[in-house]
Amino acid sequence: MAPAGSRFPRVQVLRERHSIIGVNNHSTPSLAGRLRSKLAEELPPRRLYHVLGVEGLAVHLAGQWGASAEKAMLAALLHDAAKTLPDSEQKALMMDSPVFTAGEEDLAHAQLWHGPAATSLAVQEYGIQDREVLEAVAYHTTGNPGVGTLGLVLYVADYLEPTRSFADVSELRREVLPLPPRRAALAVARRKLRHIANRGRKAHGRTIAMEQWLRDTLSAD
């Protein structure tokens, strides 16, 4: 049953604009089904196929790496839920995130706002309180030093899902997907940093810190 309204005005506006289903006291399978239906209504086809591709790969990796398949499914379905909203709404939702505090560098990288923004939608519109899921969603683009296995699942699945088509994606999948989680995430982090450098851009500090953390913890094993 959808709640009558939101105590967050911005979320209420979003609900009216996008007819988002309010879901509380749900089971994961029915919530995932509702999320899929809602995404199918709202996302452009290419983005929808990406999200469903992330879902499939995330569930697979969760099985390989000992994470919860249900949480992987929810995190994948939610991770880009705010991506098609205007920047101003993404920013407002990011500032309401229960698991993310935006620093100056975050405020300067609008392309990263949709992750933290989706955590506000997850809580307020879908009743999802699970911190592991919310943190995986918040940091899915940059990663975050110390991230747990679910976060690694989403980080890798988002980059290597089947509809990704960058030049060396097939080789990267073959190389990376059989690896254990931190080694797989390190390969993805390095590929992301290389891509950012090739485009002449400056990487976000958390992307750099993620690669460093993975390298340090793996060499300490």
Q: Specify the DSSP class assigned to residue 17.
A: H
Q: Which two tokens stand for residue 99?
A: 């698991």
Instruction: Please give the angle made by the CA atoms of 68, 73 and 74, to the nearest 5 degrees.
Output: 100
The owner of tokens 């309180």 is 129
- String of DSSP letters for 118-186: HHHHHHHHH----HHHHHHHHTTTT--TT--HHHHHHHHHHHHSTT---TTHHHHHHHHTTS-HHHHHH
From the list 53, 54, 110, 52, the residue with the least C-alpha distance to 82 is 110
Rounded-to-10 torsion of CA 210, 213, 219, 220: -150
Closer residue to Fe ion, CB minimum distance, 80 or 89: 80
Give me the long-range contacts of 24-27 (CB less than 8 A, separation at least 24). 24/127, 25/127, 26/127
The answer to the question of residue 55 lying near Fe ion (CB under 5 A) is no
Q: Specify the stretch interacting with Fe ion by CB under 5 A; choose among 58-66, 75-83, 101-109, 187-195.
A: 75-83
Q: How far is the CB of 219 from Fe ion (least distance, A)?
A: 29
Among 11, 59, 72, 80, binds Fe ion (CB under 5 A): 80
Q: How far is the CB of 83 from Fe ion (least distance, A)?
A: 6
The answer to the question of residue 106 lying near Fe ion (CB under 5 A) is no
Q: How far is the CB of 1 from Fe ion (least distance, A)?
A: 30
Q: Specify the stretch interacting with Fe ion by CB under 5 A; choose among 14-22, 62-70, 72-80, 116-124.
A: 72-80
Q: Specify the stretch interacting with Fe ion by CB under 5 A; choose among 61-69, 77-85, 163-171, 205-213.
A: 77-85
The answer to the question of residue 158 lying near Fe ion (CB under 5 A) is yes
Q: For residues 91 and 14, what is the distance between their CA atoms, to the nearest angstrom?
A: 13
Q: How far is the CB of 115 from Fe ion (least distance, A)?
A: 6
Q: For residues 68 and 77, what is the distance between their CA atoms, to the nearest angstrom?
A: 14
Q: How far is the CB of 2 from Fe ion (least distance, A)?
A: 26
Q: Specify the stretch interacting with Fe ion by CB under 5 A; choose among 91-99, 117-125, 154-162, 208-216.
A: 154-162
Q: Specify the stretch interacting with Fe ion by CB under 5 A; choose among 17-25, 128-136, 152-160, 207-215.
A: 152-160
Q: How far is the CB of 137 from Fe ion (least distance, A)?
A: 9
Size of the site for Fe ion (CB under 5 A): 2
Binding site for Fe ion (CB under 5 A): 80, 158
